[in-house]
Amino acid sequence: MQIGFIGLGHMGKALADNLLKAGHRLTVWNRSPEAAEELRAQGAAVAREPAEAFAGEVAISMLADDAATRAVILDSGALAAARPGLVHLGMATLSTDFVGELLERHRHHGIAYVAAPVFGRPDVAAAGQLNILAAGPAEAVARVQPLLDVLGGRTWPLGEDPLHAAAVKIAGNFMIASAIEAMGESAALAQGFGVEPGRLLEILTGTLFACPVYRNYGGMIAERRYEPAAFRLRLGLKDVGLALSAGQSRQVPLPFASVLRDNLLEAMAHGEGERDWTALADVARRRAGQD
């Protein structure tokens, strides 16, 4: 399949690598050229402008946020220049408001839009084991399903409304942030009584909370292993903001999301924005005088 791929950060690069390994023809574009040149060495064509990535059968975008997606997909004219019949597969975590705007813009240009945000970190993406949320027109989803099968271990269909995939992704990231905060506060509590945080988290992630989120993030919190960042804390702040915005748009109160936002802001104020978002756990330690 002829695929355009836009956005070659940690996640995007891993996804593009797997598509090339599966034999697909890729035209890639990235704001900074280094990642694109690496893929050229693997057989990808490198686009000079984002619009060139919208000239194939499918265009995939994996950009950092609403602003980057707006600039690269809409403001650049890439969507307006898209090949008739193309399917745009949006895999980034975007606000529900912006996904609604994207839907209107895609309808105006006669282009199918499938929202397919993912759960999983870059190492999971590299292994092709992401959990992918997919929502969009049934025919368009069916066309891109072979690509989703390459990129993920499982696709979770969510119907024809891309807002459903966006909402589930935002809710999931809110729950992950909540788990990190709970582990950080619990570790500070145990440490206040002389119990090593690592021992507490080993017990709890081996018994009551024996699941990937608690086990993986719990180990990072116990070791304070926040670098290199697989998911930067500043992006976690962005995603909690997306949850608050989505809740406000539908009159759904999210009081704990406000706590998370303020704690993430405190971590940002301590210069931790580029560390992994598990560094959120250190906010509780600092407040307890344990740092």
**pLDDT one-digit tens code per residue, 183-195:** 999 999 999 999 9
Q: Are 201 and 272 within one domain?
A: yes
Torsion angle, alpha carbons of 130, 67, 94, 182, to 10:
80
Domain CATH code at residue 223: 1.10.1040.10
Cα distance between residue 28 and residue 33, in whole Å: 10
Question: Of 160, 180, 211, which residue constitutes the final position of a domain?
Answer: 160
Q: Are 17 and 135 within one domain?
A: yes
Q: Which strand (E) or helix (H) includes residue 154? A: strand 152-157
Q: Are 248 and 183 within one domain?
A: yes
Report pTM.
Answer: 0.96
Q: What is the number of structural domains in the chain?
A: 2
Boundaries of domain holding 152? 2-160
Q: Are 13 and 121 within one domain?
A: yes
CB 180 within 8 A of CB 278: yes
Q: Are 69 and 184 within one domain?
A: no
**Average pLDDT score over residue span 204-208:** 97
Domain CATH code at residue 31: 3.40.50.720
Question: Of 96, 131, 160, which residue constitutes the final position of a domain?
Answer: 160
pLDDT computed for residue 127 by the predictor? 97
Q: Are 6 and 144 within one domain?
A: yes
Q: Are 145 and 237 within one domain?
A: no
**Average pLDDT score over residue span 152-169:** 98
Among all residues, which ones are annotated catalytic? 169
Q: Are 205 and 156 within one domain?
A: no
pLDDT averaged over every residue in the chain: 97
DSSP character for 95?
Answer: -
Q: Are 104 and 196 within one domain?
A: no
Q: Are 136 and 191 within one domain?
A: no
pLDDT computed for residue 33 by the predictor? 87
pLDDT computed for residue 291 by the predictor? 77
Q: Are 58 and 197 within one domain?
A: no
pLDDT computed for residue 89 by the predictor? 98
Q: Which residue has the tokens 């209107």?
A: 104
Question: How many alpha carbons lie under 13 Å from residue 231 in its C-beta half-sphere?
Answer: 24
Question: Of 160, 188, 218, which residue constitutes the final position of a domain?
Answer: 160
Q: Are 48 and 137 within one domain?
A: yes
Instruction: Give the model confidence (pLDDT) of 67-110 as tens digits.
Output: 999 999 999 999 999 999 999 999 999 999 999 999 999 999 99
What whole-number percentage of the chain has pLDDT above 90?
Answer: 98
Instruction: Give the model confidence (pLDDT) of 213-271 as tens digits.
Output: 999 999 999 999 999 999 999 999 999 999 999 999 999 999 999 999 999 999 999 99
Cα distance between residue 101 and residue 52, in whole Å: 22
